[in-house]
């Protein structure tokens, strides 16, 4: 499943996504095609900022349901409780390039906003310091790999 | 000559009073006194509610299918002044036999074998435990005692018919014993006591067997489900203890602050890779969890290892109520399911079923 792009630029994976203070590493396009009914209905995807390893910045502006996914017992829980997993097609818009400092600020912002979540990472301080010390975008992504977030 | 009516009282068939005049101490319904406040009639063995037309408690002699029905719902032709055996005159005349052979004279769920067992119980000597006698000897002796008491010529209504019925059923019982042995359909294993019922597998298994033996199929299935979930519970607990080790059940030594606990997790080999995330699945680190002492919440039982990579991070995000890049999120049911260890799910199901069985009537 491909996403629709409102620019000629394609995302160069891996990438980082920032959504309502949550920071998630995205390893492939496959991860960008799965959502939930609740997420689609409340448009929780809107405003997601993506920063790819090529230094490009994107924004998710729309999503459409392709089909309902039923893969395993876990997905039945969602189906029975009104929040099934969906295969979706995102509309992504390119918003230019991003600097290393901007990426670091976005990451740091997530560390602050979701402190309880990040604190549950066993070597969080090391990870935070590595990000802070990174001198290039490659080093930022390398830190995510080293700490097994990618 | 002038006559004066000093009292007059009349009852409908089930005891509902429709005329009441004069002194109240004489000639009550079937001779039983009436509670003036509750309106129930007090027989020697139980109370009859005339408004409902039924007994307030089951027949102490366990006679008949509906042990709450007053004289088998035939009050026009029968009365039951004693409250025993549905008003049966034979039973009334022999209250000492209640619970033993008299029960045999009524169709019972347990069938023929039950009659033999009850007959054995009937003999006082056998009840004292005469180990020198074989079961057959005891049964014969009991039968002789029984026949001497209720046999033909006792003058009680219907006693000849009862004797014939008893002899016929006894013969059938011996045939059945000869075919299947003594352990077939003899008596139910009995419901476990409260503490016994808490023993995994054993308690629920015994309750299930008792349910099936007494014909309570629904409860039998519930208890069978409980016994099966007990098996999984024991298995997962044993596995967890094996994995965690005794020292991992409670990290009591040293500081229990989260930073110290993370170090302990790494040192003790709990972390599988650098950067592993541990989700506090039951008592969170933040929000309301801040009021819970570290020594309780920062323990291995409250920590759930998150998988490696982007998928693991996305799962952890959603368990915290967060959203992924595509807006994917979980509702409460999904968070409970995906955010709790297997042993906790089995334990919860087990507790739920065990709670349900507390409403099981005694049988």
Q: What is the mean pLDDT of residues B252-267?
A: 81
How far apart are alpha carbons A90 and B198 in whole angstroms?
53
Residue B126 clears pLDDT 70, i.e. is over it: no
Contact (Cβ atoms closer than 8 angstroms) between residue B154 and residue B97:
no
The percent of residues above 90 in pLDDT, for chain B, comes to 8
Q: How confident is the model over B292-327, as pLDDT tens digits?
A: 998 888 888 889 999 988 889 999 999 999 999 888
Q: How confident is the model over B138-194, as pLDDT tens digits?
A: 555 655 655 555 555 555 555 566 566 666 656 665 565 555 444 333 456 777 877
Question: Of the ranges B44-58, B240-254, B278-292, which one carries the lowest mean pLDDT score?
Answer: B240-254
- How far does A77 lie from chain B, in Å, by closest CA? 6
- How far does B234 lie from chain A, in Å, by closest CA? 23
Instruction: Provide the residue ranges of all domains of chain B, joining segments of one domain with +.
Output: 7-83, 96-180, 194-363
Give how far Cα A140 sits from Cα of A54, B129, B275, B316, Å: 12, 85, 15, 21
Q: What is the mean pLDDT of residues B53-71?
A: 72
pLDDT for res B123? 35
Question: Of the ranges A133-137, B110-114, B135-139, B355-359, which one carries the lowest mean pLDDT score?
Answer: B110-114
**The domain containing residue A92 runs over which residues?**
4-146
Cβ separation B274–A123 shorter than 8 A: yes
The percent of residues above 70 in pLDDT, for chain A, comes to 95
The percent of residues above 70 in pLDDT, for chain B, comes to 53
pLDDT for res A103? 92
Residue B362 clears pLDDT 80, i.e. is over it: no
The closest alpha carbon to B12, from B24, B1, B20, belongs to: B20
Mutate to test the interface with B, among A122, A127, A145 (most CBs of B within 10 A): A122
Kindly identify which residue of chain B lies nearest to residue A115, measuring between CA atoms.
B286
How far apart are alpha carbons B108 and B100 in whole angstroms?
13
A60 to chain B, any CB pair closer than 8 A? The answer is: yes
Number of domains in chain A: 1
Assess whether the previous peptide bond of A14 is cis (omega < 30° from 0). Answer: yes
pLDDT tier for residue B120 given thresholds of 50, 70 and 90: very low
The closest alpha carbon to A34, from B324, B56, B154, belongs to: B324
Contact (Cβ atoms closer than 8 angstroms) between residue B271 and residue A122:
yes
pLDDT tier for residue A8 given thresholds of 50, 70 and 90: low
Count other Cβ atoms within 10 Å, centred on residue B355: 9
Residue B28 clears pLDDT 80, i.e. is over it: no
Cβ separation A24–B325 shorter than 8 A: yes
A13 to chain B, any CB pair closer than 8 A? The answer is: no
* Higher per-residue confidence, B3 vs A70: A70
pLDDT for res A129? 93
Residue B107 clears pLDDT 50, i.e. is over it: no
Cβ separation B274–A32 shorter than 8 A: no
Cβ separation A117–B317 shorter than 8 A: yes
Residue A86 clears pLDDT 50, i.e. is over it: yes
- Chain B residue numbers with beta carbons less than 8 Å from the beta carbon of A36 are 327-330
Q: How confident is the model over B319-351, as pLDDT tens digits?
A: 999 999 888 899 999 999 999 988 888 888 888
Residue B22 clears pLDDT 70, i.e. is over it: no
pLDDT tier for residue B264 given thresholds of 50, 70 and 90: confident
* Higher per-residue confidence, A90 vs B104: A90
Which of A24, A85, A88 comes nearest B310 by C-beta?
A24
Angle B217-B219-B222 from CA coordinates, rounded to 5° = 110
Mutate to test the interface with B, among A50, A148, A149, A150 (most CBs of B within 10 A): A148
- Where is B248: in which H helix or E strand? helix B246-249
Phi, psi of B329 (to 5 degrees): -150, 170
Residue A101 clears pLDDT 80, i.e. is over it: yes
Residue B282 clears pLDDT 80, i.e. is over it: yes
- Chain B residue numbers with beta carbons less than 8 Å from the beta carbon of A74 are 334, 337-338
Phi, psi of B162 (to 5 degrees): -65, -40
Cβ separation B331–A82 shorter than 8 A: yes
The closest alpha carbon to B309, from A114, A123, A147, belongs to: A147
For chain A positions 100-119, those within 8 Å of chain B (CB to CB) are 114-117, 119
Question: Using CA atoms in the order B222, B224, B228, B233, what is the torsion angle rounded to 10 degrees?
Answer: 60
Which of A27, A44, A122 comes nearest B265 by C-beta?
A122
Mutate to test the interface with A, among B258, B263, B313 (most CBs of A within 10 A): B313
Cβ separation B284–A148 shorter than 8 A: no
How far apart are alpha carbons B44 and B42 in whole angstroms?
7
Count other Cβ atoms within 10 Å, centred on residue B114: 19
Which of B275, B322, B337 comes nearest A149 by C-beta?
B275
- How far does B195 lie from chain A, in Å, by closest CA? 35
Which of B313, B323, B327 comes nearest A149 by C-beta?
B313
Q: What is the mean pLDDT of residues B80-105?
A: 48
Cβ separation A31–B314 shorter than 8 A: yes
pLDDT tier for residue B247 given thresholds of 50, 70 and 90: low
Kindly identify which residue of chain B lies nearest to residue A58, measuring between CA atoms.
B325
pLDDT for res B69? 82
- How far does A41 lie from chain B, in Å, by closest CA? 10
- Where is A126: in which H helix or E strand? helix A124-133
pLDDT tier for residue B243 given thresholds of 50, 70 and 90: low
Question: Of the ranges B16-30, B223-237, B255-269, which one carries the lowest mean pLDDT score?
Answer: B16-30
Cβ separation A90–B313 shorter than 8 A: no
Who contacts B118 (Cβ-Cβ below 8 Å, separation ≥6)? B100, B101, B103, B104
Range B205-210, long-range pairs (CB < 8 A, 24+ positions): B205/B230, B207/B357, B207/B360, B210/B363
A63 to chain B, any CB pair closer than 8 A? The answer is: yes
- How far does B330 lie from chain A, in Å, by closest CA? 7
pLDDT for res A56? 92
Say if strands A4-5 and A85-97 run parallel, antiparallel, or are unpaired.
Answer: parallel
- Chain A residue numbers with beta carbons less than 8 Å from the beta carbon of B285 are 116, 119-120
DSSP A121: B
Residue-averaged pLDDT of chain B: 70
For chain A positions 20-49, those within 8 Å of chain B (CB to CB) are 20-22, 24-27, 31-36, 38-40, 42-46, 48
């Amino acid at each position: 499943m491909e996403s629709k792009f409102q620019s000629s630029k394609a995302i160069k994976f891996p990438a980082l996504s920032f959504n309502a203070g949550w920071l998630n590493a995205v390893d492939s396009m496959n991860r960008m095609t799965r959502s939930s009914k609740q997420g689609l209905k409340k448009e929780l995807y809107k405003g997601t900022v993506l920063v790819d390893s090529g230094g490009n910045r994107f924004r998710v502006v729309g999503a459409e349901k392709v089909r309902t996914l039923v893969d395993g017992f876990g997905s039945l829980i969602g189906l029975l409780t009104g929040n099934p997993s969906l295969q979706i097609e995102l509309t992504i818009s390119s918003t230019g390039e991003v600097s290393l400092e901007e990426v670091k600020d976005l990451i740091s912002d997530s560390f602050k906003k979701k402190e309880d979540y990040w604190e549950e990472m066993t070597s969080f301080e090391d990870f935070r310091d590595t990000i802070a010390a990174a001198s290039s975008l490659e080093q930022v992504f390398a830190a995510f790999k080293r700490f097994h977030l990618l | 000559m002038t006559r004066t009516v000093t009292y007059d009282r009349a009852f409908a068939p089930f005891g509902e009073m429709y005329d009441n005049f004069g002194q109240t101490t004489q000639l009550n319904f079937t001779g039983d006194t009436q509670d003036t406040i509750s309106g129930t009639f007090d027989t020697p063995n139980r109370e009859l509610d005339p408004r409902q037309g039924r007994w307030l408690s089951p027949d102490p002699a366990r006679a008949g299918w509906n042990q709450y029905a007053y004289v088998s719902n035939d009050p026009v032709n029968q009365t039951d002044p004693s409250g025993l055996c549905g008003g049966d005159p034979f039973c009334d005349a022999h209250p000492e036999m209640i619970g033993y052979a008299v029960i045999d004279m009524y169709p019972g769920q347990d069938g023929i074998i039950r009659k033999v067992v009850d007959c054995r119980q009937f003999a006082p000597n056998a009840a004292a435990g005469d180990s020198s006698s074989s079961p057959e000897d005891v049964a014969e002796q009991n039968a002789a005692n029984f026949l001497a008491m209720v046999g033909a010529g006792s003058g009680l209504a219907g006693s000849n018919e009862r004797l014939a019925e008893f002899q016929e059923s006894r013969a059938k019982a011996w045939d059945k014993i000869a075919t299947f042995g003594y352990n077939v359909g003899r008596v139910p294993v009995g419901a476990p006591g409260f503490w016994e019922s808490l023993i995994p597998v054993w308690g629920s298994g015994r309750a299930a067997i008792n349910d099936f033996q007494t014909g309570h199929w629904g409860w039998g299935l519930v208890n069978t489900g409980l016994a099966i979930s007990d098996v999984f519970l024991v298995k997962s607990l044993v596995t967890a203890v094996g994995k965690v080790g005794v020292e991992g059940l409670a990290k009591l030594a040293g500081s229990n602050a989260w930073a110290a606990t993370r170090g302990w997790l790494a040192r003790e080999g709990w972390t599988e890779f650098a950067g592993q995330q541990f989700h506090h699945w039951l008592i969170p680190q933040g929000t309301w969890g801040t009021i819970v002492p570290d020594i309780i919440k920062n323990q291995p039982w409250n920590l759930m290892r998150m998988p490696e990579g982007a998928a693991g991070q996305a799962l952890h995000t959603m368990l915290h109520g967060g959203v992924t890049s595509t807006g994917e999120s979980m509702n409460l049911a999904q968070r409970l399911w995906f955010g709790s260890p297997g042993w906790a799910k089995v334990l919860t199901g087990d507790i739920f079923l065990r709670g349900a069985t507390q409403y099981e009537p005694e049988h």
